[in-house]
Amino acid sequence: MTAYQDLEARFRRLYALQEAAGVLHWDMSTVMPEGGGGARSEQLAVLEVVCHETSTDGELGDLFAAAEAEAGALDPWAQANLREMRREWRHATALDAGLVEALAKAAMACEMTWRKARPDNDFAAVLPALKEVLGLTREAAEAKADALGLSPYDALLDQYEPGGRIDRIAPVFDDLAAFLPGFLGEVMERQAAAGAPLAPEGPFPEAAQEALGRRLMAAVGFDFDHGRLDRSLHPFCGGVPDDVRITTRYDEADFAKALMGVLHETGHAMYERGLPANWRLQPVGQARGMALHESQSLLVEMQVCRGPAFAGFMAPLAAEAFGGSGPAWQADNLLRLANRVEPGFIRVDADEVTYPAHVILRTRLERAMIAGDLAPGDLPGAWNEAMVELLGLTPPDDRLGCLQDIHWYDGAWGYFPTYTLGAMTAAQLYAAALAAVPEIPEAIGKGDFAPLMAWLKENVHAKGSLRSAEELLTEATGRPLDPGVFKAHLRRRYLD
């Protein structure tokens, strides 16, 4: 066995363990009884430690040196895999096992507390656990910053967006923050002049919402032999490429929330299913960062499923599912509803005009907390002030404010910027797909996503982590990320 083959075998074992942990996380979020939280925290912490020990084994340094000396004999995929292995190794070796275990246990405990604190609107109940998670996260960020030669926040961001740097992202976000209020005002004025769309009459039973969601998932291309749809407190896509688990939450007064959530998570699932099968359980076979992952969910939900072609396909199915009839159920009215812009408190329910403001808010606050400039106890007040600044709203309580997202409570710091990076990437990829395959809208109007998914699989999904995100986007669209494409999309959809 060559040094490279030895590394492949070790990472195959590591990734199998990580996939097992992923399924345990899904179980915890969907069907695990509340009393199982303590045991599950212990199980996941042990898996974290075992994975850390595997990825920091003392022999790995010599194996990397030997494999890199032989790299010329490897094909491009294996060379890229070796590069990604080393990147993950550098992240892992920056932390000692004790910190990994402590952070894993703290995050699990905090998440379980948050699951009760959020519906109870009780920030005080989760604050001690949040303080512990933040303290350990800052310790990990400092350790990784020293090892990687990055700032602490960049060290966290790099876990989710390899190569992502806040000094490049912050100016883009600041530009959006300056652009959005004026643009939002124009859109609101335009919508007011047009009058409100008609609201279909409910209630909309959960069972009917789920059935419609499954039908549309199948149209997008979701394979139910390799995946599931379930309920959870916070919608997500998890599992593994051959067993993708997506979840949503239902509101019987508004079927669109769950439906768009399902379509969003289906976009994530299609990316996972389309990753290169020959490189399963290897770093190069994984998704190329969370910005690209978010681009796939937002491309499906925002670019496609809030467009006229999809509305024409979906409208009769929705009317059939809920027994609706009349003007409220016509495609043009449902399209107006889907693209209704209105500032709101909840990020996951936000329209695509106000959504970036939610992400900018969270990015700024988590940067301040990591830097030590914002204490967790001051988070509710800081959150509310930022909501007024960016969206002109004051949350009536913490349930609609700083308790709404799971990310900080389960330890995912540095993740939030990827959402808006993903929205911009989605606009650019979809524009390129339409230029390459002009018949995509006509096919979608018939419920046929195959032409779009074929283009995405060839240009994004099947590439895995062979290239950097910037290289992949440039190859697919002819240029690196251009925020102007996203702004042009917004103007075209809401003002033209």
Give the number of domains in the chain: 2
b/e per residue, 450-476, with b = 16+ CB within 10 A?
ebbbebbbebbbebbbbbebeebbeeb
Q: Are residue 23 and residue 108 in the same domain, yes or no?
A: yes
pLDDT of amino acid 233: 81
CA distance 126 to 140: 21
Name the stretches of the chain with pLDDT < 50.
none
Assess if residue 100 is contained within a domain.
yes
Assess if residue 237 is contained within a domain.
yes
Q: Domain of 221? A: 206-345+417-494
The letter for the amino acid at 95 is: L
Residue positions annotated with a catalytic role: 265
Q: Are residue 450 and residue 317 in the same domain, yes or no?
A: yes
Q: Are residue 152 and residue 259 in the same domain, yes or no?
A: no
What are the tens digits of pLDDT across the range 136-172?
999 999 999 999 999 999 999 999 999 999 999 999 9
CA distance 229 to 258: 12
Assess if residue 357 is contained within a domain.
no
Q: Are residue 222 and residue 332 in the same domain, yes or no?
A: yes
Last residue in a domain, options 162, 184, 216: 162
Assess if residue 227 is contained within a domain.
yes
What's the CATH code of the domain at 425? 1.10.1370.30
The tokens of 79 are what? Answer: 């060379």
Q: Are residue 15 and residue 70 in the same domain, yes or no?
A: yes
Assess if residue 333 is contained within a domain.
yes
Assess if residue 196 is contained within a domain.
no
Q: Are residue 147 and residue 249 in the same domain, yes or no?
A: no
- Secondary structure of the chain in the HEC alphabet? CCHHHHHHHHHHHHHHHHHHHHHHHHHHHHCCCHHHHHHHHHHHHHHHHHHHHHHCCCCHHHHHHHHHHCHHHCCHHHHHHHHHHHHHHHHHHCCCHHHHHHHHHHHHHHHHHHHHHHHHCCHHHHHHHHHHHHHHHHHHHHHHHHHHCCCHHHHHHHHHCCCCCHHHHHHHHHHHHHHHHHHHHHHHHHHHHHCCCCCCCCCCCHHHHHHHHHHHHHHHCCCHHHEEEEECCCCCEEEECCEEEEEECCCCCCHHHHHHHHHHHHHHHHHHHHCCHHHCCCHHHCCCCHHHHHHHHHHHHHHHCCCHHHHHHHHHHHHHHHCCCCHHHCHHHHHHHHCCCCCCCCHHHCCCCCHHHHHHHHHHHHHHHHHCCCCHHHHHHHHHHHHHHHHCCCCCCHHHCCCCCCCCCCCCCCCCHHHHHHHHHHHHHHHHHHHHCCCHHHHHHCCCCHHHHHHHHHHCHHHCCCCCHHHHHHHHHCCCCCHHHHHHHHHHHHCC
Last residue in a domain, options 106, 129, 162: 162
Assess if residue 382 is contained within a domain.
no
Q: Are residue 114 and residue 31 in the same domain, yes or no?
A: yes
CA distance 101 to 73: 38
Q: Are residue 224 and residue 157 in the same domain, yes or no?
A: no
pLDDT of amino acid 113: 95
Last residue in a domain, options 138, 162, 186: 162
What are the tens digits of pLDDT across the range 166-179?
999 999 999 999 99
